[in-house]
Amino acid sequence: MEKRELLYEGKAKRLFLTDDENLVISEFKDDLTAFNGEKKSSEAGKGALNNKISTELFKLLEANGIQTHFVKMLDDNHMLHTKVDVILIEVIVRNIATGSLTRNLGIKDGTILPFTLVEFDYKDDDLGDPKLNDQHALILGLVEHQDELDKLRRMARQINDILKPYFADKGLNLVDFKLEFGKDKSGNIILVDEISPDNCRFWDMESGEKMDKDRFRQGLGGLTVAYEQVLNRILGK
């Protein structure tokens, strides 16, 4: 597969065209950003860890019937995947209250939610990714029909139903995470982007230690050590 011109550069990945119009390559960067790009840094090896973690999780989800954009991992920092039209909605899934939920609604940090909460954020850096309800999403034309919003919620819950027990088995609480979806050339809604400690929160079940990007957001240090631990637990090491 030939890597061709740069299509798009995001905060954590670069996207390249290939010699196949239906396939693109993501390069996972070592760059770290938080608070809508206000805090920036870089950690050697972070991109490769996220590529490897995402690869394993996409394979797990595919094996459990979730359609994703994943095709294969090409090398440490590159993943080959299907080209899609990205839906500009960040689907946030929460099992335990923390982060913006705690800040916005005053729910005590660490509260186990009575049921899994699925929220939508508008994927727009200039606006700071504001919360969306279904009517906002339809008025903005982010999807065509209510059915598609229902499908995003349904897929998000299915993904949580696979990932939450999977990580519990590895001693990690899957606190919350962000998913992105896109439409492939047939119009199917599939899971895209990455699933990694950059967009999930993992808390160690015994120590409560944070094993995700909150280590950077909160200046705790030890980010790559934590990401490596997440990968090793996935690989059963």
Stretch that binds ligand 5GP, among 68-76, 94-102, 149-157, 220-228 (CB under 6 A): 94-102
Closest approach of ligand 5GP to the CB of residue 150, in Å: 21
Show the tokens assigned to 162. Answer: 């696979």
Q: In the bound complex, what is the minimum distance in angstroms from residue 46's beta carbon to ligand 5GP?
A: 12
Residues facing 3 on adjacent strands? 18
- Residue with tokens 């504001």, as numbered in its chain: 130
In the complex, minimum distance from the CB of residue 85 to ligand 5GP, in angstroms, rounded to a whole number:
19
Neighbours of 91 (CB within 10 A): 22
Give least dist CB 11 to ligand 5GP, A: 8
Q: Is there binding between residue 54 and ligand 5GP (CB under 6 A)?
A: no
What is the torsional sign of CA 95, 99, 102, 107?
A: positive
Cα separation, 7 vs 14, in Å, equals 8
| Site mask for ligand 5GP (CB under 6 A), range 174-213, x = bound | --xxx-------------------xxxx-----------x
- Rounded CA gap, 89 and 179, in Å? 9
Residue nearest to ligand 5GP as judged by C-beta position: 99
- Which residues share a beta bridge with 121? 90, 131
Contacts (CB under 6 A) with ligand 5GP, residues 106-165:
129
Q: For ligand 5GP, give the closer residue by CB, 18 or 100.
A: 100
**Residue 90: CB minimum distance to ligand 5GP, A:** 5
Quote the tokens at residue 180.
């992105």
Q: How far is CA 70 from the centre of its chain?
A: 13
Q: Give the number of residues in contact with ligand 5GP, rule: CB under 6 A.
A: 14
Of 88, 89, 107, the closest CA to residue 98 belongs to 107
Q: What's the rounded Cα separation, in Å, for the pair 118 and 67?
A: 19
Look-up of token digits 């950077």: 216
Q: Which is nearer to ligand 5GP, 33 or 55 (CB)?
A: 33
Shortest separation between residue 107's beta carbon and ligand 5GP, angstroms: 11
Residues in contact with ligand 5GP by the rule CB under 6 A: 90, 92, 99-101, 129, 176-178, 198-201, 213
